[in-house]
């Protein structure tokens, strides 16, 4: 441990923990820096953390060693973290509600990012991407009411998230989309079965390469530094948005705001669906359906329950239906990039056209 003194009298203890957690006959390695504020302002913690993160690839960690011990004992340490919408009440101020919602989403993202260092589970990757998308969607939802200009840049995450998106596309194609159509293409033909297996092997190789790229991206210090900056912004959110507290004293202010925002999103989705014959409008409807679903799931405790259930069901169905067409199209694009067999790529392209055709 090292005591670090900062200007203004703040004192931070930096401890390097190296060892292992042992529980139930299993073990997990520990190699982490733990920062504790002994005196002064909490911002000193982030100042010290950022000094370290400039030269060392360090990611924020949301689970303590004791929590990891219990998870190891239960066999759940490496399980992907799924969404856990926070408990909201109508008496909450908007900045506090935003902090609660955004914290949970960012926690889902960073927890799964940490797991990606040691896990090849496609669901871990999927949940990391979902957490990031939920976080960005919620930021957009709360943006008009918060000091969005103070949000730190996440440009340093660009390369990492591009790799995550590309690997997710490969995982969906090789593990979900293609298996549904294998029999239709091969039709007991030995030659076609060989082509199909060649495509899957090429995609497996591309996925392995992309996974290694993600591992390298996680070792870039700027990634951890960006995540720390967002963490600090979240912790300081209520204090930096006092004007948004103006309605906090009004009864059910959060309920009124949430219901109005979700209703507006639903209206936009319905408007996009009116012009669903155009691919651009259909794509916009899918994105709005996703934003509507994320918004309802996050704000559900303060929404009208019957209405929320109906809109959530509608958004989920729409997102799924349009998403299936998109997945088949993407599988065809990836097949073309693999340069395995042009006929196979044409087969997938035809499937995509059939999926998109009006019913």
Which residues have a Cβ under 8 Å from the Cβ of 260 and sit 6 or more positions away?
none
Selected residue with higher pLDDT from 241 and 359: 241
pLDDT tens-place string over residues 262-306: 999 999 999 999 887 787 888 899 999 999 999 999 999 999 999
d(CA 33, CA 243): 36
Phi-psi region of 40 (alpha: psi -120 to 50; beta: other; left: phi over 0): left
Q: Which of 11, 100, 4 is nearest to 52 (CA)?
A: 4
User: Would you give the DSSP letter of residue 12?
Assistant: E
For CA atoms 200, 203, 209, 212, give the dihedral sign: negative
Tokens of 131: 């957490």
Radius of gyration of the chain, Cα coordinates, nearest whole angstrom: 23
**Average of pLDDT values for 230-234?**
95
User: Would you give the DSSP letter of residue 276?
Assistant: T
Task: Give the model's pLDDT for residue 289.
Answer: 96
pLDDT tens-place string over residues 19-39: 999 998 899 999 999 999 999
Count the residues in the chain.
Answer: 359
Percent of the chain with pLDDT over 90: 74
d(CA 231, CA 46): 9
> For residue 248, what pLDDT band results from cuts at 50, 70 and 90?
very low
> For residue 358, what pLDDT band results from cuts at 50, 70 and 90?
low
**Average of pLDDT values for 43-72?**
94
> For residue 148, what pLDDT band results from cuts at 50, 70 and 90?
low
Task: Give the model's pLDDT for residue 356.
Answer: 64
Phi-psi region of 88 (alpha: psi -120 to 50; beta: other; left: phi over 0): beta
Which residues have a Cβ under 8 Å from the Cβ of 274 and sit 6 or more positions away?
281
Task: Give the model's pLDDT for residue 280.
Answer: 84
Task: Give the model's pLDDT for residue 151.
Answer: 86
Which class for 29: exposed (0-12), middle (13-18), buried (19 or more C-beta within 10 A)?
A: exposed
Which residues have a Cβ under 8 Å from the Cβ of 44 and sit 6 or more positions away?
6, 8, 10, 11, 12, 37
Task: Give the model's pLDDT for residue 16.
Answer: 96
SS3 state at 306? helix
pLDDT tens-place string over residues 78-122: 999 999 988 899 889 999 999 999 999 999 999 999 999 999 999
Task: Give the model's pLDDT for residue 245.
Answer: 53
d(CA 184, CA 121): 28
171 φ, ψ (degrees, to nearest 5): -60, -45
CA 313 to chain centre: 21
What is the secondary structure of 192-223 as a DSSP string? Answer: HHHHHHHHHHHHHHHHHHHHHHHHHHHT-HHH
Task: Give the model's pLDDT for residue 246.
Answer: 46
Which class for 318: exposed (0-12), middle (13-18), buried (19 or more C-beta within 10 A)?
A: buried
pLDDT tens-place string over residues 153-170: 999 999 999 999 999 999
- pTM of the full structure: 0.93
Nearest 5°: CA angle at 94, between 89 and 99?
A: 85
d(CA 333, CA 335): 5
SS3 state at 39? strand
Q: Assess whether pLDDT exceeds 90 at residue 354.
A: no
Q: Which of 226, 240, 223 is nearest to 150 (CA)?
A: 240
The counts of H helices and E strands in the chain are 12, 3
């Amino acid at each position: 441990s090292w005591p670090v003194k900062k200007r203004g009298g703040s004192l931070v203890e930096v401890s390097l923990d190296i060892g292992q957690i042992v529980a139930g006959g299993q073990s997990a390695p520990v190699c982490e820096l733990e920062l504790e504020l002994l005196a002064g302002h909490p911002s000193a913690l982030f100042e010290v953390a950022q000094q370290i993160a400039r030269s060392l690839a360090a990611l924020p960690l949301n689970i303590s060693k004791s929590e990891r011990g219990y998870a190891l004992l239960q066999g759940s340490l490496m399980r992907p973290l799924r969404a856990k919408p926070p408990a909201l009440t109508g008496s909450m101020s908007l900045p506090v509600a935003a902090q609660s919602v955004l914290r949970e989403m960012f926690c889902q993202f960073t927890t799964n990012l940490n797991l990606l260092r040691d896990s090849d589970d496609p669901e871990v990757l999927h949940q990391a991407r979902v957490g990031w998308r939920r976080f960005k969607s919620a930021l957009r939802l709360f943006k008009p009411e918060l000091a969005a200009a103070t949000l730190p840049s996440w440009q340093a995450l660009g390369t990492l998230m591009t790799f995550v998106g590309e690997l997710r596309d490969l995982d969906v194609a090789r593990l979900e989309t293609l298996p549904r159509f294998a029999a239709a293409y091969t039709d007991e033909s030995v030659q076609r079965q060989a082509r199909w297996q060649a495509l899957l092997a090429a995609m497996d190789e591309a996925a392995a390469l992309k996974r290694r790229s993600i591992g390298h991206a996680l070792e870039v210090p700027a990634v951890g530094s960006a995540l720390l900056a967002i963490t600090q912004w979240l912790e300081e959110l209520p204090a930096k948005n006092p004007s948004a507290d103006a309605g906090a004293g009004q009864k059910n202010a959060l309920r009124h705001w949430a219901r109005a925002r979700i209703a507006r999103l639903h209206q936009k989705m319905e408007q996009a669906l009116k012009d669903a014959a155009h691919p651009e409008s259909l794509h916009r409807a899918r994105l709005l359906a996703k934003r509507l679903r994320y918004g309802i799931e996050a704000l559900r405790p303060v929404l009208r329950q019957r209405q929320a259930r109906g809109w959530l069901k509608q958004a989920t169905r729409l997102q799924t239906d349009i998403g299936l067409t998109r997945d088949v199209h993407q599988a065809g694009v990836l097949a073309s990039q693999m340069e395995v067999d042009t006929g196979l790529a044409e087969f997938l392209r035809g499937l995509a056209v059939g999926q998109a055709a009006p019913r």
